[in-house]
């Protein structure tokens, strides 16, 4: 064990070893990647105290240009260690290396640059009014730091989603205590090294490792000195964090699960729709909250669509992350694979037809010790089936026919989730009409996973609370005040 890397917590500008450790396992082959120091209550307390001291010191008094310059230095630091970040993401998640390069690490850099530039151009509202005595008033809105923000981020897009929260929190002058998923600690630790090198004052950014209930995540979300909690992950976990945050009436921002639908109309560009559904259902082995698990295809197109999707699905290459031909890697862990496989079995019990997949691929090498599953297409289930209502979070989609526009809108909206949806059609008026009636926070038309970082992102129902992105992030990470001056 002596030659196994040890990931430490980063608190008050120092790297801490803790007596409790846990193993970080590579999902490609089941081998040990590193050992990780778990934060107990005393470490969380030290992190919060350090953040509290920093929030009372010079950090929040830095002007916008100074904070923006620091964010750009962090982005520069990620760029300098680009390959190290790619390797960290790949080791923890098993995702294709080309995806880590083009999406995860590139987006981490973009997140810091986007919010660095945004805070230099963000404007405040101002209104002229009339006082009771008839005099004039000037009313304007200011944003002040909240104080200490607790950030709990998931394992599916580790660096992307962690930086998506850290960047705006720091941009608005807050101090941060961040806890990445216990499944993916490597890129977060590397990010702490970069942030340390960028010259942020001690205590402004703190990183703690550990688990959720009864551990670091719960200690952080229940701490009375945390002003706000932002969390991306499973809906049930979000509910538990919300209960904990309610005690101190903390600000909360949750981006939670989804049971997202895609709608393919008969007039759609057929091959574009096929390629789009392949991306939206199987990217990152379906481990993206935005993936399409429910696909509705207009009946005249249904049989042809299922046949073509089956062919494309069976052409997917499941392989090592560094294989240039790889399309799909493993799931995050054996435990998560067991969950996904249990849904494959449940689908059979509920009467689904397995068009393709539904099991575990056999490689005949070390990958058989990993967490791979077959990409799977289902048909034949009613909308009331559990597999149609519960988030599976794996490489699976169910394809069902529909007959009318009104019918499919009702079926899409008949969900406990409300995160995202896709529409495939060449009829512009239909695209606008249907998109406006779908009850989700995001609707794509003839595309998927494309979004300007300045636009709001989030969902309703069990899919979350609040919006992130652009000025919506700035609003969440700020204490907004109105100042009224009589002229």
* 406 CB-contact burial (10 Å; exposed 0-12 / middle 13-18 / buried 19+): exposed
Q: Choose among 346, 322, 380: nearest CA to 83.
A: 322
State the residue for tokens 């099991």.
Answer: 359
Q: Please, what sign has the CA dihedral across residues 338, 339, 341, 346?
A: positive
Q: Which residues are catalytic?
A: 255, 289
CA dist 485 → 101, 252, 341, 480, 481 (Å)? 51, 31, 63, 17, 13
Q: In whole angstroms, what is the distance from residue 29 CA to residue 18 CA?
A: 27
Q: In whole angstroms, what is the distance from residue 14 CA to residue 471 CA?
A: 32
Q: In whole angstroms, what is the distance from residue 23 CA to residue 394 CA?
A: 23
Residue 442 CA, chain-centre distance (Å), reads 14
Query: What are the φ/ψ torsions at residue 94 (nearest 5 degrees)?
Result: 75, 5
And the tokens for 428?
Answer: 């512009």
What is the per-residue burial (b if ≥16 Cβ within 10 Å, else e) of 361-399?
beeeeebeebbbbbbbbbbebeeebebbeebbbbbbbbb
Q: In whole angstroms, what is the distance from residue 217 CA to residue 153 CA?
A: 10
pLDDT at 33: 97
Query: CB-hemisphere CA count at 13 Å for 286?
Result: 27
Cβ proximity of 395 and 375 under 8 Å:
yes
> Strands 464-465 and 251-255: what pairing?
antiparallel
Write out the chain's pLDDT in tens, 487 residues.
558 899 999 999 999 999 999 999 999 999 999 999 999 999 999 999 999 999 998 887 899 999 999 999 999 999 999 999 999 999 999 999 999 999 999 999 999 999 999 999 888 889 999 998 989 999 999 999 999 999 999 999 999 999 999 999 999 999 999 999 999 999 999 999 999 999 999 999 999 999 999 999 999 999 999 999 999 999 988 988 888 888 888 999 999 999 999 999 999 999 999 999 999 999 999 999 999 999 999 999 999 999 999 999 999 999 999 999 999 999 999 999 999 999 999 999 999 999 999 999 999 999 999 999 999 999 999 999 999 999 999 999 999 999 999 999 999 999 999 999 999 999 999 999 999 999 999 999 999 999 888 899 999 999 999 999 999 999 999 999 999 999 9
Ramachandran area for residue 282 (φ above 0: left; ψ -120 to 50: alpha; else beta)? alpha
- CA angle 211–212–214, rounded 5-degree value: 100
Query: CB-hemisphere CA count at 13 Å for 260?
Result: 33
CB atoms within 10 A of CB 486: 11
Domains of the chain: 6-256+463-486 (3.40.605.10), 260-452 (3.40.309.10)
Cβ proximity of 181 and 155 under 8 Å:
yes
Query: What are the φ/ψ torsions at residue 215 (nearest 5 degrees)?
Result: -145, -155
And the tokens for 42?
Answer: 């005393």
> Strands 148-152 and 205-207: what pairing?
unpaired
Q: In whole angstroms, what is the distance from residue 137 CA to residue 127 CA?
A: 8
pLDDT at 245: 81
CA dihedral 226, 228, 234, 235 (to 10 degrees): 120
Cβ proximity of 185 and 7 under 8 Å:
yes
Give the three-class secondary structure for 386. helix
pLDDT tens-digit map of 428-449: 999 999 999 999 999 999 999 9
Q: Choose among 246, 196, 253: nearest CA to 229.
A: 253
């Amino acid at each position: 064990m002596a030659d196994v890397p040890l990931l430490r917590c980063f608190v008050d500008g120092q790297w801490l070893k803790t007596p409790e450790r846990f193993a970080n396992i590579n999902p490609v082959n089941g081998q040990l990647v590193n050992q990780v120091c778990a934060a107990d209550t005393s470490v969380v307390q030290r992190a919060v105290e350090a953040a509290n001291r920093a929030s009372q010191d010079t950090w929040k008094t830095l002007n916008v240009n100074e904070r923006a310059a620091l964010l750009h230095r962090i982005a520069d630091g990620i760029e300098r260690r680009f390959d190290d970040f790619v390797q960290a993401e790949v080791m923890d998640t098993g995702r294709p290396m080309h995806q880590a390069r083009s999406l995860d690490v590139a987006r981490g850099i973009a997140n810091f640059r986007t919010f660095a530039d945004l805070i230099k151009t963000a404007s405040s509202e101002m209104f002229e009014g009339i006082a009771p005595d008839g005099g004039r008033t000037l009313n304007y809105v200011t944003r002040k730091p909240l104080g200490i923000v607790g950030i709990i981020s998931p394992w599916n897009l580790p660096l992307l989603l962690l930086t998506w929260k850290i960047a705006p929190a720091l941009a608005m002058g807050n101090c941060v205590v961040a806890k990445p998923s216990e499944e993916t600690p490597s890129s977060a630790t590397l990010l702490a090294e970069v942030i340390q090198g960028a010259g942020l004052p001690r205590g402004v950014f703190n990183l703690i490792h550990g688990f959720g209930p009864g551990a670091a995540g719960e200690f952080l979300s229940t701490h009375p000195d945390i002003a706000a909690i932002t969390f991306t992950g499973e809906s049930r976990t979000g509910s538990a964090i919300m209960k904990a945050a309610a005690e101190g009436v903390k600000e909360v921002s949750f981006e939670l699960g989804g049971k997202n639908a895609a709608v393919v109309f008969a007039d759609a560009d057929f091959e574009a729709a096929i390629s789009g559904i392949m991306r939206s259902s199987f990217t990152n082995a379906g481990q993206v909250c935005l993936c399409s698990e429910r696909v509705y295809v207009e009946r005249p197109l249904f049989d042809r669509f299922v046949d073509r999707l089956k062919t494309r699905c069976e052409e997917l290459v499941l392989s090592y992350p560094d294989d240039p031909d790889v399309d799909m890697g493993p799931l995050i862990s054996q435990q998560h694979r067991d969950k996904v496989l249990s849904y494959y079995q449940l689908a059979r019990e509920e009467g689904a037809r397995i068009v393709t997949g539904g099991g575990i691929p056999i490689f005949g090498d070390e990958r058989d010790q990993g967490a791979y599953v077959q990409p799977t297409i289902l048909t034949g289930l009613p909308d009331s089936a559990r597999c149609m209502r519960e988030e599976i979070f794996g490489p699976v989609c169910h394809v069902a026919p529909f007959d009318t526009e009104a019918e499919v809108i009702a079926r899409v909206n008949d969900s406990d989730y409300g995160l995202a949806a896709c529409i495939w059609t060449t009829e512009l008026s239909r695209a606008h009409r249907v998109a406006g009636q779908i009850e989700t926070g995001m609707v794509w038309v003839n595309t998927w996973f494309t979004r300007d970082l300045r636009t709001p992102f989030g969902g309703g129902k069990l899919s979350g609370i609040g919006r992130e992105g652009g000025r919506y992030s700035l609003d969440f990470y700020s204490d907004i005040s109105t100042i009224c001056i009589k002229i």
